[in-house]
Amino acid sequence: MVLPVTVRVRRVRTHPEPLPLPRYETALAAGMDLRADIDGELTLGPMERAAVPTGLALALPPDYEAQLRPRSGLALRHGITLLNSPGTVDADYRGEVKVLLVNLSQEPFTLRRGERIAQLVVSPVSRVSLLELELLETTERGEGGFGSTGR
């Protein structure tokens, strides 16, 4: 059984009607939906990008990160995705979480306050140390990459 992890959240914007905090939309969802904390509307033209505020700052526990991922419905229906996907929020970052959206479609896309724009997945982070060597052990795959194993 996975033990719950507590992430402290601070609202960084004041608004007469605060947006709901992110939550899991289904019982087995991996991510919580983040919402656009904007005033009114924001239109992204084709190939246009914007850092969309969520109105939230996080205090993640040590050895955790928050990953920002696209919402599949926005990507499929409207060509809206994240440029740096997955984006990483480090455990020591305390600023507002913003989502770097891009419109890859041929049509303008209008975003409204409170719309769900991305998923937030909180994951443990492995800390590693690097050991520099002259040679690495060989494998069957070797140096093959970028489609070397087939289509």
Contacts of 42 (CB under 8 A, 6+ apart): 36, 50, 52, 110, 111
Query: Following DSSP, what letter does each residue of the chain receive, concatenated?
Result: -PPP---EEEE-S--SSPPPPP-BSSTT-SSEEEE---SSEEEEPTT-EEEEEEEEEEEPPTTEEEEEE--HHHHHHH-EEETTSSEEE-TT--SEEEEEEEE-SSS-EEEETT-EEEEEEEEE---------S-----SSTT--SSTT--
* 89 annotated as ligand-binding: yes
* 10 annotated as ligand-binding: no
* 26 annotated as ligand-binding: no
* 84 annotated as ligand-binding: yes
Q: How crowded is the C-beta side of 62, counted as CA atoms within 13 Å?
A: 1
Which residues does the annotation place in the binding site?
71-73, 84, 88-90
Which residues does the annotation place in the binding site for substrate?
71-73, 84, 88-90
